[in-house]
Amino acid sequence: MNLNQVTLPTDDMDRTTEFYRRMGFLQIVDTPHYARFECTEGSSTFSVSLDERGLENFSVIYFEHENLDELVIALKTKGIEFDQDPTDMSYLWREAILHDPSGNKIKLYSAGENRLNPPWRVERHA
């Protein structure tokens, strides 16, 4: 199987779609209640869907970038604010944390070989 996309809730389509375009993603679907974006590398996509019931999303979306520190500097020059600057984590990833305008948590990270092959990797099948 291959993951197609993740859909995040938003309570403000215009503000949220502008945010993701400013981050560098290409918007490929634009409706009043749904928008979809292509990632800048690979073939993955993600989307946002209008949800005006009041948002409380505990999911975290991760975007990998080989040159994380440079990306964060570039995004800051575009006015993107971060909760955490790039930091080396105990699980061998380097991460920066931010939130989109609807409060969805985003982690930008660089993991290299440790993304799929950390020292503690296991392989369990059914």
pLDDT tens for the chain, 126 residues long, are: 787 889 999 999 999 999 999 999 999 999 999 999 999 988 899 999 998 786 677 889 999 999 999 999 999 999 999 999 999 999 999 999 999 999 999 999 999 999 999 999 999 988
Smallest CA-to-CA distance from 19 within 110, 86, 98 is with 98
8 A C-beta contact, residue 80 and residue 22 = yes
Alpha-carbon span 84 to 49, nearest angstrom: 26
Handedness of CA 76, 78, 82, 86 (dihedral sign): negative
Please name each of the domains of the chain with its CATH number.
Answer: 7-114 (3.10.180.10)
- Greatest C-alpha distance within the chain: 47
Q: Is 39 left (phi over 0), alpha (psi -120 to 50) or beta?
A: beta
The pLDDT of residue 90 is 96
Instruction: Give, in degrees to the nearest 5, the angle at Cα 28 between 49 and 55.
Output: 15
The pLDDT of residue 126 is 83
Structure tokens at 120: 């503690």
The pLDDT of residue 24 is 96
The pLDDT of residue 60 is 94
The pLDDT of residue 109 is 97
